[in-house]
Amino acid sequence: MQPDKHSPSDSKQSQLNLTVVKVVLEVGFITLAVVLAALFGGLWLDGKFESKPAFTIGLLLASIPVSLVLIIVIVKKEIAKIKTGLAQSKNSEEAGLGK
């Protein structure tokens, strides 16, 4: 049996896969948290002001653009990290070739 040889590209791909999984989980959790906060906040406000579906529907509708903005911010932040990491690894590879 031959030992596994992991190339640097395998390591980079693995790191990229982990980052993608992290982003997907983070986006899912944030979306769920915003929707649940809108739901429970709307139900509480409807109970407080006796306006049964108004606040709940309003807050749930307002949670859509809030979730989308948060998703965009999170994804942009992670893409910037990935690009920075790729640029650093490319520069280190070029420096290694120059020796």
The CA distance from 11 to 23, in Å, is 18
pLDDT number for residue 91:
79
Judged by average pLDDT, the poorest of 11-15, 17-21, 24-28 is 11-15
Compute the average pLDDT of residues 39-48.
97
Mean pLDDT, the chain, as a whole number? 88
Confidence (pLDDT) at 96:
67
27 has a pLDDT exceeding 70: yes
The answer to pTM > 0.75 is yes
- Better-predicted residue by pLDDT, 65 or 87: 65
Q: What is the mean pLDDT of residues 70-95?
A: 86
The 3-state DSSP class for residue 4 equals coil
- What is the residue extent of each domain of the chain? 22-97
pLDDT of residue 97: 65
Long-range Cβ pairs for the range 85-88 (8 Å, 24+): 85/15, 86/12
